[in-house]
Homo-oligomer: A and B are copies of this chain.
Amino acid sequence: MIDFQTSPDRYRHWKLAFDGAVATLTMDVDPTSTLAPGYELKMNSYDLGVDIELYDAIQRLRFEHPEVRAVVIASANPKIFCAGANIKMLGVSSHGHKVNFCKFTNETRNSIEDATANSQQKYLCAVSGTAAGGGYELALATDYIMMVDDGNTAVSLPEVPLLAVLPGTGGLTRVVDKRKVRRDLADIFCSIEEGVKGKRAVEWRLVDEVVPSSSFKDAVKARAAVMAATSDRPGGKGVTLTHPARAISADAVSYPHIEITFDRDNRAANITLKGPQTAAPTDVAAIHAQGVDFYPLALARELDDAILHLRANETSVATWVIRTEGSHDLVAGYDALLQKFGTSDWLVREILLYWKRTCKRLDVTSRTLFALVEPGSCFSGFMAEILFAVDRSYMLDGTFEGSDAQPATIRLSGLNFDGLPMGNGISRLATRFLGEPDSVAKAKDEIGKDLDAAACAALGLVTGTPDDIDWEDEIRLMIEERAAFSPDSLTGMEANLRFAGPETMETKIFGRLTAWQNWIFQRPNAVGEQGALKLYGTGKRAAYNQERV
């Protein structure tokens, strides 16, 4: 099992150091601490295990360190800043593992950009020693790249010449779209194994600044101070991210607020999010006091871990059926806090951003996502966002026979319209109603109301509203049907239908770049017995089929 929970005391590959408003995150990969056998993490190369620590560190910097306003990514290896994803690891990994690994590393790099842009925790990269492939892609995710000018240090994307794959962790996209490197120079850059160093790297926009060795340390420090000075992070006490309790058995995973049971026959997971049990605190001080137990944060952390766990460890579970259980009024109390303090309090802002990122993780999850709205559910405000992230949602019209429960309702809040954008930059409701923008306005008029099945159907908020007579059959058939389709075609279909409307650098990375990389990860020229990934390090040259397709 791949565990995404870790903490600094268990890190094998990263070191965190603090100096006032500036933290330094130093990569120092232990070659022998690998996630799987069959390779060594030489030259600061990484596998998923290294990236799990990186992700954890980024999260902790945000939540545990309100005093940190700038983060320097550095390397403990004087020769190699970072050699990128370990090639031997890629060579021995299954197709599924490679794809899932790349998705997580992409999400982690996006979270660096999100921290810089939205948490005001600004990342810069201090490249000393070569940053190759994924090493440079890590630098690309930061807001400012400084490179030592020592005649040796270079940045490079050697994937095409060396490995017959792509710089697939955002590299190709960020080079032309974020750093706006001219396409012909980018083409040359991606063809040069040894990369580009010194002034030319600045001229081509590959890095922001080169600095002589002798003054590099001071220059990085000075630049970090400048970046920190523009941040609004207030300092003070952070929230320690203790691990949520989790119990994993053969047919269930449970957290304090999430229960997952598996319907193995239908290759489905039933995921129930439990609403808050107690009323929301009344002020910011109380939110801070609750810390990691504050319901929205607790839920986000559990859902995040659950998504990552299911993606990596339950690859045959193809359909996720998501339910909620709880009180609209209680959720609404927390939702109101998120809205009220989401811009003024650093912690509430962080929590809202975390929920945004967690919903985005759902958006790019290659599983069919269904939501069921049943009596007793609490799809309300930020939790209702799940309904607009899934592929289909069904809401029971009325109650189940013999039940005295109240019929299910849905409650919208301002967060469904603003504050939780998809990767495409617009809200899920705006994406949903691309063809009828008036429907967004109509839904907005219903904020705060308890909307029953008829109202939700009229507003177009759910896919269907079967009654008790049809409910069981309809849901069962839908789940069985999904299990009968090719998982690959579903992945492709969902990746195309979920992202109507604008495309952004982020959607380009998950759409265009990732899709091409996945294609290449299937091609014999990369992964065949004579392919470059397989032969790397053996001294043999790959034999390519020369046909262009």
Contact = CB atoms under 8 A, between A and B. Distances in A.
Interface of A: 95-96, 99-100, 159-161, 163-166, 172-173, 175-177, 179-188, 190-191, 205, 267, 315-318, 366-367, 390-393, 431-436, 460, 463, 481-503, 507-508, 511-513, 515-520, 522-523, 525-526, 532, 542, 544-549
A549 B96 contact: yes
A188 B394 CA distance: 12
B508 A515 contact: no
Contacts of A435: 179-182, 205
* Most B CB within 10 A of own CB, among A182, A318, A390, A481: A182
- Name the 4 nearest CB pairs between A and B, nearest first: A180-B435, A515-B515, A164-B486, A503-B503
B489 A520 contact: yes
Given A392-B187, A435-B205, A519-B522, A166 B487 contact: no
B491 A513 contact: no
Nearest to A521: B519
Given A177-B434, A516-B518, 15 more contacts: A95-B549, A161-B481, A161-B485, A166-B489, A183-B497, A184-B432, A187-B494, A366-B549, A487-B548, A488-B526, A489-B526, A491-B548, A492-B517, A511-B511, A515-B518
B191 A481 contact: yes
Contact of A159 (B436, B489, B522): B489
A495 B508 CA distance: 12
A281 to B, nearest CB: 36
A315 B549 contact: yes
Contact of A515 (B96, B182, B512, B545): B512
5 contacts: A100-B549, A316-B547, A487-B549, A496-B512, A519-B519
A239 B172 CA distance: 44
A175 B526 contact: no
Contacts of A434: 176-177, 180
B177 A493 contact: no
Contacts of A177: 434, 500-501
A80 B204 CA distance: 56
A435 B431 CA distance: 29
A481 to B, nearest CB: 6
B485 A164 contact: yes
Contact of A519 (B164, B490, B499, B515): B515
Contacts of A513: 496
A100 B507 CA distance: 25
Nearest to A482: B191
Contacts of A486: 160, 164, 523, 525-526, 532, 542, 544
B488 A549 contact: yes
B549 A485 contact: no
Kindly name the residue among A489, A507, A511 whose own CB sees the greatest number of chain B CB atoms within 10 A: A489
